[in-house]
């Protein structure tokens, strides 16, 4: 039996990371992530896995971000009974993140079902509940960095620090096979050099097969010092406050929140930011911040005190406290999740502030295509939030100094020690331009182009020993073995917008056109033309 690798996520998109490795003695998953972005992509979360959950013997989770771990409770609910290996810090973060994700599923489904009842449409079921997520936590098994362990018979693994977020890891695997072991490296998400709180990524050992992320595979960022990064943040926050309104900062609960808190505290200490109230309106972010505190010895800058409370921060817990913040119309900085604006309390703050000329929305993180954050950041004049149309009049600003991902050159430099003896590099976890950019960069660094693969969703690769290295060592290569029936066509998986986005935009455009029409006669003509196009009844009364 050959060793095969099945790509079940992060193919032509940056979310849904899930790789199934089938070995002669068992099957494991590397990551079990949730799809984010356009609704057609998120719909995959509700569909059955393209494999039997009970057939999975072990899971390795690279880190706690939901696009790498968010479907693990669904896997356990569907019949997985093995261990899920990860670092202790990732386990501690998931104790909060996964139940919160289940709670979001329950709330979203409850809201949707109320709407479906009114529309006489079928009710839907949550992907999993908070209780399901809490039950799945029992399957998490922590392991230390740099320590080999056996998740399956005939498979050795170790986790190495990826420098992306607290507890993040890339994974090295050795699989017993004939005529030689197959060595694989899964990058997970790699952090950049000189990241605010995390050490630089460790360097990988030799490998036959490399599965590497390409989130920023076509981008080279300006190198900034800590002082330069803080100065940029300070200018943006100060300018936003001077505009007269509040500054809304969509943040991810893990890492981005803690980095921003740390820098705001430093800016206040030096007097580079006025003594204004700073609200962290995310109970989840407050709890994960406590996890960072408990693991502060692993951070680049650890001390004896609490590293994230030196800026007079106000942590909110209840809905009533969140609503009270919404009644403030100037002079405050509000950090709220989620980071891509697709869930959480930030949507309420955006609904309260986007239409205000004096408000500022400051993006400090990646916005996946099709998300509300991506639409706002791209310059949309109107958006729909909770079914309501909201005009975008606020100042929209972006900082790229807090990225948690390595850029193109950093990815290539990290992979460089592997390239001389590498059989195949599988470039994943990126949009098409990023994937192509990293593939070109790896080729330019000396890896032959025929040894670089850019997979499609649900594609299968067989590991084949067909090369003998000059030192007599066998090298395994990944040979495309066709695809299982893909759950989503490649063009839809990589689309920056889907029909749901276009539908929402048409509603907004129609409303604007009707509002601008000179009289009711013209409005009726517009509506009749719409009916004609969609084949509906043309009422000429």
The band of 538, judged by pLDDT with boundaries at 50, 70 and 90, is: low
Q: Are 102 and 129 in contact (CB under 8 A)?
A: yes
Q: What is the CATH number of the domain that holds 457?
A: 3.60.15.10
Residue 57 lies in a domain: yes
What are φ and ψ of residue 299, in 5° steps? -80, 160
Q: Are 443 and 510 part of one and the same domain?
A: no
Q: Are 284 and 432 part of one and the same domain?
A: no
- What is the domain extent for residue 422? 3-220+404-493
Q: Are 274 and 423 part of one and the same domain?
A: no
Paired tokens of 66: 């939901």
Task: Give me the pLDDT at residue 536, please.
Answer: 61
For 472-482, the pLDDT digits (tens) are 678 889 999 86
- The residues that bridge with 533 in the sheet, in sequence order, are none
Percent of the residues in the chain that have a pLDDT greater than 70, as a whole number: 92
For 248-258, the pLDDT digits (tens) are 999 988 998 99
> Coil, strand or helix: which one is 353?
helix
Longest dimension (CA), the chain: 86
Residue 540 lies in a domain: no
Sheet holding 149-152, edge to edge: 149-152, 155-161, 169-175, 182-186, 209-213, 424-428, 452-453
Residue 229 lies in a domain: no
Q: Are 476 and 507 part of one and the same domain?
A: no
Higher-confidence residue: 531 or 396? 396
What single string gives the DSSP state of each residue in 479-497?
A: EEEEES--SS-HHHHT-SS
- Segment holding 240, helix H or strand E: helix 226-242
Identify the weakest region by mean pLDDT among 77-81, 262-266, 307-311, 374-378.
307-311
Q: Are 183 and 124 part of one and the same domain?
A: yes
Residue 227 lies in a domain: no
Nearest in space to 93 (alpha carbons), one of 215, 257, 212? 257
Task: Give me the pLDDT at residue 243, please.
Answer: 96
Distance of CA 355 to the CA centre of its chain: 27
Q: How far apart are CA 154 and CA 1, in angstroms?
A: 13
For 302-320, the pLDDT digits (tens) are 455 555 665 578 888 888 9
Q: How far apart are CA 12 and CA 22, in angstroms?
A: 22
Structurally, the chain folds into a number of domains equal to 3
For 87-101, the pLDDT digits (tens) are 999 999 999 999 999
Q: Are 459 and 7 in contact (CB under 8 A)?
A: yes
Task: Give me the pLDDT at residue 302, please.
Answer: 45
Q: How far apart are CA 298 and CA 301, in angstroms?
A: 8
Q: Are 518 and 463 part of one and the same domain?
A: no
Q: Are 168 and 377 in contact (CB under 8 A)?
A: no
């Amino acid at each position: 039996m050959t060793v095969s690798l099945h790509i079940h996520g992060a193919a032509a998109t940056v979310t849904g990371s899930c790789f199934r490795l089938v070995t002669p003695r068992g099957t494991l998953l590397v990551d079990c992530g949730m799809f984010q972005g356009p609704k057609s992509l998120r719909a995959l979360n509700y569909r059955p896995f393209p494999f039997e959950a009970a057939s999975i013997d072990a899971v390795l989770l690279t880190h706690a971000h939901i696009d790498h771990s968010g479907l693990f409770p669904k896997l356990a609910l569907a019949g997985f009974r093995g261990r899920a290996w990860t670092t202790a810090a990732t386990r501690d973060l998931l104790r909060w993140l996964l139940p919160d994700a289940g709670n979001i599923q329950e709330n979203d489904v409850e809201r949707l079902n109320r709407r479906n009842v009114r529309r006489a449409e079928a009710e839907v079921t949550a992907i999993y509940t908070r209780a399901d997520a809490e039950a799945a936590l029992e399957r998490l098994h922590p392991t230390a960095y740099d320590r080999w362990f056996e998740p399956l018979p005939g498979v050795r693994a170790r986790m190495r620090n990826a420098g992306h977020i607290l507890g993040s890891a890339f994974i090295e695997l050795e699989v017993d096979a004939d005529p030689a072991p197959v060595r694989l490296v899964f990058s997970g998400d790699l952090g950049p050099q000189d990241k605010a709180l995390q050490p630089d990524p460790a360097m990988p050992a030799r490998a036959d097969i490399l599965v590497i992320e390409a989130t920023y595979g076509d981008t080279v960022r300006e190198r900034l010092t800590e002082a330069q990064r803080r100065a940029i943040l300070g200018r943006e926050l100060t300018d936003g406050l001077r505009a007269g309104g509040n500054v809304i900062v969509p943040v991810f609960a893990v890492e981005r929140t803690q980095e921003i808190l740390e820098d705001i505290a430093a800016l206040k200490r030096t007097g580079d930011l006025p003594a204004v109230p700073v609200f962290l309106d995310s109970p989840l972010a407050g709890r994960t911040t406590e996890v960072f505190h408990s693991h502060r010895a692993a951070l680049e800058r650890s001390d004896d005190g609490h590293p994230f409370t030196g800026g007079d921060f106000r942590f909110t817990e209840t809905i009533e406290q969140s609503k009270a913040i919404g009644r403030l119309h100037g002079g405050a900085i509000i950090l709220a999740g989620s980071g891509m604006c697709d869930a959480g309390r930030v949507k309420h703050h955006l609904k309260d502030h986007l239409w205000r000329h004096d408000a500022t929305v400051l993006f400090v993180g990646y916005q996946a295509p099709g998300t509300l954050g991506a639409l706002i950041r791209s310059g949309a004049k109107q958006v729909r939030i909770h079914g309501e149309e909201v005009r975008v009049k606020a100042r929209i600003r972006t900082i790229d100094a807090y990225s948690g991902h390595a850029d193109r050159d950093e990815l290539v430099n990290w992979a460089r020690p592997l390239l001389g003896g590498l059989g195949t590099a599988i470039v994943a976890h990126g949009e098409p331009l990023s994937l192509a950019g990293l593939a070109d960069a790896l080729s330019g660094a000396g890896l032959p182009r025929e040894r670089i693969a850019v997979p499609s969703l649900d594609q299968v690769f067989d590991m084949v020993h067909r090369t003998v290295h000059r030192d007599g060592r066998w090298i395994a290569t990944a040979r495309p073995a066709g695809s299982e029936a893909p759950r989503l066509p490649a063009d839809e998986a990589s689309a920056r917008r889907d029909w749901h986005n276009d539908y929402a935009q048409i509603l907004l455009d129609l409303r604007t056109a009707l509002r601008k029409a000179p009289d009711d006669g013209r409005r009726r003509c517009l509506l009749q033309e719409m009916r004609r196009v969609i084949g509906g009844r043309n009422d000429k009364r």
